[in-house]
Amino acid sequence: MRKCPTQTGEINHVDGVYHSQCHSAERTILEEQKFPRCGYCDSDTAWIFMRPTVSAKPPLKTSTALPARRQSKA
């Protein structure tokens, strides 16, 4: 697995809403964009993926979009 938090200056590969590790500043970052600095403190930070962007398809249908993680043992 790759490292989960992505640092400022790295190229994003997954469209989504991210939040900065230092201030939890939410930001939508698209594919091929560089991760910016924190919007609050303007410092290099780590960005943590929160959720996919909701631009194209409305996530109304509860199909198999997100596999539910169940912690109970089968």
Binding site for Zn ion (CB under 5 A): 22-23, 38, 40-41
Q: Residue 47 CB, nearest distance to Zn ion (Å)?
A: 11
User: Which residues have CB under 8 Å from 57's CB, separation 6+?
Assistant: none
Q: Which is nearer to Zn ion, 11 or 41 (CB)?
A: 41
The residue whose Cβ lies closest to Zn ion is 38
Q: Which is nearer to Zn ion, 41 or 54 (CB)?
A: 41
Cα 54 to Cα 15: distance, rounded to the nearest angstrom = 10
Q: Which is nearer to Zn ion, 39 or 59 (CB)?
A: 39
Strands of the sheet containing 16-20, edge to edge, are 6-7, 46-51, 16-20, 26-29
